[in-house]
Amino acid sequence: MSAHASPIHHSEAPKGWIRHYIFSFDHKIIGTQYILLGLSAVTIGLILSLIFRTHLVWPDAHIWGFANGIVSPEDYLRLITMHGTLMVFFVLTTVPQSGFGNYFLPIQIGAPDMAFPTLNMLSFWTTLLALLVLLSSAFVPGGSAIGGWTAYAPLSAVGQIAGPGQGLGETLWVVSIALFCGGSLMSAINFLGTTIDLRTKGLSLMRMPLTVWGWFITACLALLAFGVLLAACILLLLDRLAQTSFFIPGNLDVSGVVLHHSGGSPLLWQHLFWFFGHPEVYIAILPAMGIISHVLSTFSRKPVFGYKAMVYSLTAIGFLSFAVWGHHMFISGMNPYSALAFSIITLVIGVPSAIKTFNWLGTLWGGKIHFTTAMLFAIGFVSLFVTGGLSGIFLAQPALDLYLHATYYVIGHFHLIMGVAAIFAMFAATYYWFPKMFGRMMNEGLGKLHFWITFIGVYCIFMPMHYLGYAGDARRYSSIESVNYMIPLHPVHFFITISAFVTAGAQLIFYFNFFWSMGHGKPAERNPWHATTLEWAVSTPVPHDNFAGDYPVIYRGPYEYSVPGAADDYIPQHLAPEQVAKAG
């Protein structure tokens, strides 16, 4: 039997530009749409961050688009709220998982598409709608929300009286996040269903590329976490619009208005939010871990060191991530004994992360390292992950968190480990898979220039933030001039802002390289990196249903590089044993 030859329901590519590129059911188009959505969001988020960094250092700088050209304190809070929301939800959650995952998971497991193409399209359009709702909040009376991306109640719950932007702006924020939850849940169902049921013949779980493992575990987390955030958003909306008292306690006097709520609990919002929020951190970083393992192995020309340990540690992180949310709440007034329990579990979750780092180093050890741009970003990721991970050891101890909580130390920590590390994985993924996605190579010289400025730049931005934290500099301050001990920190802020501009400038190289290479890059071979997994077995551009009806069969694990006795230093997963050329 020509095994998997099956006439798939839509083996014909849809006709018409709109069906093909806009309302597409094809996972590759949807993946690309997600990536472009993320690219738009990251661009806006980056520009916003440059504006608030500028404001911190030059408070009187005239900036186009603001009243009188000046960024007011509420504008500053709008900027950081929008920056955080865009980056966490629409970039870190969206691109590594829904973007690259959508594009490559079906190909890597030998499937024609996602299990539920219509649902896939729906989840993209829901996410896009969520983004538009969020952005629209900038244009309503009162402007967008100033409550931070964590939207702590009651600041987020009592409405306009808590500050400008806390009226309609905050409502739109909540609606946007609720929509985003819906889109992510649909997407998670698709990822799980696809991985469970559509793997091709011979692709056992322990032969899946680590990218697929990353996406799979992430989908499990998303499935369990976003439902909780959705529930929390609904309760928050009711508090805001229907005068209920889920999160608003009694006897509040906000801006001279006595509120008629009673008995609600601000901590309840924090518990629900962080029950989602901590898995969310891993939703952002697990796909990145998969991508990095994949790229490191390819360009070290070695199997991933400790493949099974990698899989088990991914799974362990997934499980534990649901039991550590309290470490965001050490100073919230929660029970001090449960704080200790959360602290210990948080330190324990550091163990599988450390295991991954050791195994990445093990993968490099004894390798034959090719410094492609993708590889540079992967190595950069490991360095960032080590740095950002170690600062987490401080924050995991409640006694130390007492001092560091809500200072720039925390900003430095999570930007390195969650923000920049995940962005590095996205860059690695882009440089690595671009030839498959667009049939052309990206320019390696520009890529390397982009890497070096970015790598040095992010360290220059985020390392000094740790020092600001030691000095007690509080985050979310639109000016450091009101606190005497913060005023001497001005030169550090100045250095950070300058570094931010240089680093952001380097991203222009990336934009240019990305769009220019689409049309003018060197044409790519089918398998330019001499890699082993299935995406490199299909032709470029990838046919509409990936394998044109003939599904490959998998004979071995995903990272068979430099196998002794073989002629080539890589053996693709789908090559039958008798086809593997012997050395000599």
Partner 1 sequence: MPPHVTVTDELEILGAHGGAKPPAGSGGGGGDDSRSSGSSGAFPQRIYVTGITIAMGAIFMFFMALVSAFIVRKGLGGDWFPFTMPRILWLDTAILLASSGTLIHARRLFKRGDRQGFRHWWAVTTLLGLLFLIGQLVAWRQMVAAGFYLASNASNSFFYVLTAAHGLHLLGGIAALLFVGWGRLRKMTLATGTEIVSYYWHFLDGLWVFLFLLLLLGR
Partner 2 sequence: MLSRKSSTGSAAPAVLFVIVLLLLVGSTLYFHIAKTWWFPPSITPVGNQIDQQFFITFVLTGIVFVLAQVALAWMIFRYRDHGQKAKFVRGNHALEVIWTTITLVIFVGLGIMAARAWGEVHFGGPAPGALEVEVTGVQFQWNFRYPGPDGKFGRIVTKDIDASVGNPLGLDPNDPEAKLNPVSPDLYLPVNRPIELMLRSQDVIHSFFVRELRIKQDAVPGLVIPIHFEIDKTGDYEITCNQLCGLGHYHMHAMLHVMSQADFDQWEKKQWASLESGQ
From candidates 243, 335, 338, 479, binder to partner 1 by CB under 8 A:
243
Q: What single-letter amino acid sits at 197? A: D
Please choose, out of 131-139, 172-180, 381-389, 417-425, the segment that lies near partner 2 by the rule CB under 8 A. 381-389
Please choose, out of 37-45, 220-228, 323-331, 414-422, the segment that lies near partner 1 by the rule CB under 8 A. 220-228
Binding mask 131-150 for partner 2 (x = CB under 8 A): ---------------xxx--
What is d(CA 91, CA 284) in angstroms, rounded to the nearest whole number?
Answer: 9
Please choose, out of 39-47, 61-69, 158-166, 204-212, the segment that lies near partner 2 by the rule CB under 8 A. 158-166
Helix (H) or strand (E) holding 260: none
553 binds partner 1 (CB under 8 A): yes
Return the residues of window 490-549 that contact partner 1 according to CB under 8 A.
Answer: 526-527, 530, 537-538, 547
Query: Over the range 295-321, which residues count as b (16 or more CB within 10 Å of their CB) and which as e?
Result: bbbbbbbbbbbbbebbbebbebbbebb
Return the residues of window 485-514 that contact partner 2 according to CB under 8 A.
Answer: 485, 489, 492
DSSP category for residue 26: -
Return the residues of window 417-476 that contact partner 2 according to CB under 8 A.
Answer: 444, 448, 452, 455-456, 459, 463, 467-468, 470-472, 474, 476
Return the residues of window 166-185 that contact partner 1 according to CB under 8 A.
Answer: 185
Of how many residues is the chain composed? Answer: 584
Please choose, out of 6-14, 86-94, 121-129, 486-494, the segment that lies near partner 1 by the rule CB under 8 A. 6-14
Measured in degrees and rounded to the nearest 5, phi and psi for residue 293 equal: -60, -45
Three-state secondary-structure class, residue 10: coil
Which residue carries 């929301």 as its tokens?
85
Binding mask 114-143 for partner 1 (x = CB under 8 A): -xx---------------------------
Nearest residue to 89 (alpha-carbon basis) of 217, 269, 205, 233: 233
Partner residues linked to 323 by β-bridges: none
399 binds partner 2 (CB under 8 A): yes
Nearest residue to 155 (alpha-carbon basis) of 275, 234, 239: 239
The reply to whether omega before 541 is within 30° of 0 (cis) is yes
The pair of structure tokens assigned to 315 is 């799974």
> Could you tell which of partner 1, partner 2, none binds residue 82, using a CB distance below 5 to 8 A set by kind?
none
332 binds partner 1 (CB under 8 A): no
From candidates 175, 382, 537, 538, binder to partner 2 by CB under 8 A:
382
Nearest residue to 59 (alpha-carbon basis) of 69, 67, 71: 71
> Could you tell which of partner 1, partner 2, none binds residue 271, using a CB distance below 5 to 8 A set by kind?
partner 1
Q: Smaller CB distance to partner 2: residue 14 or 73?
A: 73
Return the residues of window 537-576 that contact partner 2 according to CB under 8 A.
Answer: 561-564, 568-569
The pair of structure tokens assigned to 181 is 């939850």
Calculate the CA 303 to chain-centre distance: 26
368 binds partner 2 (CB under 8 A): yes
Strands, E assignment, 220-341: 253-254, 257-258
Quick one: CA dihedral 528, 214, 573, 10, positive or negative? negative
275 binds partner 1 (CB under 8 A): yes
> Could you tell which of partner 1, partner 2, none binds residue 57, using a CB distance below 5 to 8 A set by kind?
none
In whole angstroms, how close is the CB of 535 to partner 2 at the nearest point? 19
What is d(CA 72, CA 520) in angstroms, rounded to the nearest whole number?
Answer: 44
Measured in degrees and rounded to the nearest 5, phi and psi for residue 79 equal: -65, -45
In whole angstroms, how close is the CB of 215 to partner 1 at the nearest point? 14
Q: Smaller CB distance to partner 2: residue 192 or 492?
A: 492
> Could you tell which of partner 2, partner 1, none binds residue 136, using a CB distance below 5 to 8 A set by kind?
none
Please choose, out of 335-343, 419-427, 491-499, 553-561, the segment that lies near partner 1 by the rule CB under 8 A. 553-561
Size of the site for partner 2 (CB under 8 A): 119
> Do the Cβ atoms of 360 and 294 come closer than 8 Å?
no
Cβ neighbours of residue 135 closer than 8 Å, sequence gap 6 or more? 44
Binding mask 317-356 for partner 2 (x = CB under 8 A): --------------xxx--xx-xx--xx-xxx-xx--xx-
